[in-house]
Amino acid sequence: MSGETMSITTSDGAFAAYVARPQAPTAPAIVVIQEIFGVNQVMRDIADDLAAKGYLAVCPDLFWRIEPGIDITDHTEAEWKKAFELYNAFDVDKGVADIAATIAAVRSLPACSGNVGAVGYCLGGLLVFLTATRTDADASVAYYGVGVEKFTAEAEKLQHPLLMHIAEADQFVPKAAQEVILAALKDHPEIEIHTYLGRDHAFARKGGEHYDAADAETANRRTLDFFRKTIG
């Protein structure tokens, strides 16, 4: 297992992605979709962990159109300010197009055995929901996606399995939004939803203010079981 970078080319330009390789020469792949802090240590650690579990993990720099190479934390007020500036400047549709380009690039790698999943957190949780509805990803997992309630109608396009983790006390996804999401999606045949009572946003982010080790472990175990079942 080693961390490296690859370049992904689109009609608008090229961007970098962090790559973590498993020990096996070929493996199913998972595209890791960032929070609002860029491809930082948290995201690289997630990719490394997936690689240790046998997956080819690729984390693309989705802020490249605004500012390439963002790598900040959630530890200072200045970094939070920067993160929200990036979030507000981010073009969701172009971000999903960049994820589609990443999936295509990953599928073409000799190290990819064929199946490609996606997992996203926070902003990435929304992006992975849209990845599930707009791309050919074989399976997708959304952690506490922000803004999903605005896009629930897109679920009619969903053709591959989607697992969603919802933080019941999420400060960025209020109860009204959660009700919209659950009412629209809970009976969809391709969607599995788990709600974590009392948990706030980013409860699975190690080192974060709202990290909960027990529920993070539960969510991550469900994610791994889901990927084992859907992409191998």
First to last CA, the chain: 18
Question: Which one of 48, 98, 200, 201 is the catalytic residue?
Answer: 201
Question: Count of CB atoms within 10 A of residue 217's CB?
Answer: 11
**Among 61, 170, 200, 215, the one annotated catalytic:** 170
Nearest to 204 by CA among 191, 192, 222: 222
Tell me whether residue 160 is one of the annotated catalytic residues.
no
User: Residue 58's beta-bridge partner residues?
Assistant: 19, 31
DSSP-derived 3-state class of residue 225:
helix
210 part of the active site: no
Alpha carbon distance 17, 57 (integer Å): 10
Beta strands in 47-90 (DSSP E): 56-60
Where are the alpha helices (H) located in 160-204, listed in sequence order?
175-185
From the CB of residue 113, how many other CB atoms can be counted at a distance below 10 Å? Answer: 18
Phi, psi of 184 (to 5 degrees): -80, -30
Give all strands of the β-sheet with 3-10 in edge-to-edge order: 3-10, 13-20, 56-60, 27-33, 112-121, 139-143, 162-167, 191-196
Using DSSP, state whether 219 is helix, strand or coil.
helix
> To which H or E segment does residue 17 belong?
strand 13-20
Q: Which residues are catalytic?
A: 170, 201
